Structure 1
Amino acid sequence: MTRNLIPTIELGGTHVAVAVIDTGARSIVDGTYRTRPLDSGGDADEILEDIAAAARTLGSDHGRRWAVAVPGPFDLAEGIARYSDVGKFDALHGIDLRARLADALEANAISFTFVNDADAFALGEHAAGAARGLSRFCCVTLGTGVGSGWVVAGERTDGAAPGGELHLLEFEGQRIEARMSRRAIRAAYARQMRLTAEVPDVREIAELARSGDPIALEVLEDAFSYLGRALADPLGRFDAEALVIGGTIARSWDLLEAPLSAGLGRPGLPVIRAELSHEAPMIGAAYAAQAALAGSRIS
């Protein structure tokens, strides 16, 4: 088995994670995964130093082809952050992360491959998770917002969404995330319960639903059913073989699957829970970096 080691960084809204990925084994090298808190509302120098400090823990016993999974909006080709009024990483707007990380890590700037985090998640599931063997699928990640990755024959595509991003689509007169996102679910529950403070998070709302709280159950069923209806047309136009669902909200699969499938209204389309969690975007980003170097697709 070929042992190709790629150091990988995954940038999240509240954390930075790093690991060395063995693309031959399609897995994280034991003992290399680390995560640390990250203040996405901090200033640019603090954010960049936290990222670099996490990356330095990987040492040098690996290849020097870095993979970086980042949330959008981001100029992946140039390595420049385009965050502006998105609620996180605004201080990085216009900054050349490729150059700054190369300097901080004493690496060659051209060794960095940037990958959208939702695309990386989808590619990771294709390489080592629930989407192995699929040739055409959409992977939707549910958490702070709605992320989406579209894969055809091991390569990411834009699928049936602008730039590949479902959250930019409008359905029933509003953006999808206005009804299906962490913020939207919490706001809907607060309205129904007439709460003005101490609004429970989605995980707590899910626990309330399981314990028989009718308002919590109604709020979640409404959000998941809406998502299904919103996805029906894009998935049909894409001719997807399957829909893969990941992200933190997918942990409430027992509450999500039925209303999502009912809203989707496509009994012949498999709705599959992602098998990986934190590993998915890191494995996918590493594979994308390897493919970029080789000029080939992920197989």
Structure 2
Amino acid sequence: MIYIYNLVHHYKLVIKVMEASGDIVLGMDIGGSHITLALVNMNLQTIIEHTYYRSYLNTRAKLEPIIDTWVNAINSVFAKENVDYKRIGMAMPGPFNYEEGVSFIKDNKKYDALYGHNIKQILAERLNIATSQIRMFNDAACFLQGEVFAGIAKNYTKAIGITLGTGLGTAILSDGVARDANLWNSDFKEAKAEDYISSRWFAKRYFELSGINLLDVRSLNEIAAESPVARAVFKEFSENLTLFIKQFIEAEQPEVVVLGGNITKAAAWYLPAVTRALKRYGIDIPVHISDLKENAALLGAAGCWQNNGKILAV
């Protein structure tokens, strides 16, 4: 009888520990120049603040230094909490076989060293965990999933997400599940959508109008109040973005549009014009800036475990 009692008591303790660990997932956002990680309390849908980790990463480095940086960061974050069963959700740029964990990124000047390698398997071996404990998803889909999980799109069932940065990211939410829309290279005007909606477009267009090279959209934002040329560039961008959003809305019929990415920091110079133009087209769907900012993809990557991994990538 004593043996049976001790055995039952032991299993109750094991279950309790597993349940506690089951509340925590490590979310990781693999960005173009930084990595951001944190443990996420799945019940509270919040980042455990003291585990937050952000670090610069040389994305042009060889495979081993990149993996070393990721592994060291992951181990550092897990060391801050007692997590019995480790689960990791990673928001990754593409192209990528997210289910298998194989990178197809090349000729992008970022993460080219990952090309052809099974990143999930390499990480699992280095972290001494099973590959089933790592889930990888498209970063744009994770951004939108994060806003559904804990942000501005929480009360919506149909949404579209657009990330505005070095490149253009797009995602669709349907029935609580986000998937990559992969519209960055869709036909748009005289080229591809990303050629008109990205920080690269801003730099190119400002140079064409002024003959001056600017480092980034932040620099343009800083001079816009005093520069007619900068304001003209933002106006033209608002026209590009309006047309793109209009086409996206007409195709997907969402309840809300969520914008993220670094270009949204300059939204005051283009977003009012976008919403006015959409209304002239008879479109009165709310267009919101991300609540979660840079943490959206991190939370979305962790949140995929709540949906049993049903973030889709096409």
Of 166, 174, 179, 2:191 maps to 174
Query: 2:228, 2:48 → 1: CA distance?
Result: 44
Summarize the alignment of residues 10-29 of structure 1 with structure 2, pairs less than 5 Å apart. Answer: 10-29=29-48
Of 187, 191, 201, 2:204 maps to 187
The answer for unaligned runs of 5 or more in structure 1 is 159-163
Query: 1:263, 1:229 → 2: CA distance?
Result: 9
The structural deviation recorded for 1:258 is 1.9
Question: Secondary structure at the residue paired with 1:56?
Answer: helix
1:285 paired to 2:301: yes
Query: 1:71, 1:173 → 2: CA distance?
Result: 25
Segment of structure 1 superposing worse, 23-32 or 249-258:
249-258
The structural deviation recorded for 1:263 is 4.6
Query: 1:45, 1:266 → 2: CA distance?
Result: 52
Question: Secondary structure at the residue paired with 2:154?
Answer: coil
> Larger radius of gyration, structure 1 or 2?
2
Question: Secondary structure at the residue paired with 1:223?
Answer: helix
| AA at the equivalent of 2:164 | L
Computed over aligned residues only, the root mean square deviation of the Cα atoms, in angstroms, reads 2.0
Q: Which residue of 2 aligns with 1:43?
A: 62
Of 267, 275, 291, 1:275 maps to 291
**Change beyond 3 A, Cα 1:213–1:151:** same
Question: Secondary structure at the residue paired with 1:113?
Answer: strand
The structural deviation recorded for 1:174 is 1.0
Q: Is the CA contact (8 Å cut-off) linking 2:137 and 2:311 kept in structure 1?
A: no
- Number of aligned residues: 288
Question: Secondary structure at the residue paired with 2:60?
Answer: coil
Taking structure 2 as the reference length, the TM-score comes to 0.87
Query: 2:88, 2:179 → 1: CA distance?
Result: 22
The structural deviation recorded for 1:56 is 1.0
Query: 1:222, 1:259 → 2: CA distance?
Result: 10
Q: Which residue of 1 aligns with 2:119?
A: 97
Question: Secondary structure at the residue paired with 1:215?
Answer: helix
Cα deviation 1:237-263 (Å, max 9, x = unaligned): 211111111111111121121232245
Q: Is the CA contact (8 Å cut-off) linking 1:180 and 1:224 kept in structure 2?
A: no
Q: Is the CA contact (8 Å cut-off) linking 1:247 and 1:277 kept in structure 2?
A: yes
1:233 paired to 2:247: yes
The structural deviation recorded for 1:48 is 0.8
Question: Secondary structure at the residue paired with 2:254?
Answer: coil
Query: 2:197, 2:204 → 1: CA distance?
Result: 11
Of 2, 18, 23, 1:4 maps to 23
Q: Which residue of 2 aligns with 1:207?
A: 222
Q: Which residue of 1 aligns with 2:174?
A: 152
The structural deviation recorded for 1:58 is 1.4
Q: Which residue of 2 aligns with 1:161?
A: none
Q: Is the CA contact (8 Å cut-off) linking 1:225 and 1:262 kept in structure 2?
A: no
The answer for unaligned runs of 5 or more in structure 2 is 1-18
Percent of counterpart pairs with the same letter?
25
Of 85, 101, 105, 2:107 maps to 85
| AA at the equivalent of 1:67 | G
Taking structure 1 as the reference length, the TM-score comes to 0.91
Question: Secondary structure at the residue paired with 1:120?
Answer: helix
**Change beyond 3 A, Cα 1:157–1:67:** closer
1:260 paired to 2:282: no
The structural deviation recorded for 1:157 is 3.7
Query: 2:67, 2:108 → 1: CA distance?
Result: 18
Segment of structure 1 superposing worse, 96-105 or 3-12:
3-12
Query: 1:262, 1:86 → 2: CA distance?
Result: 36
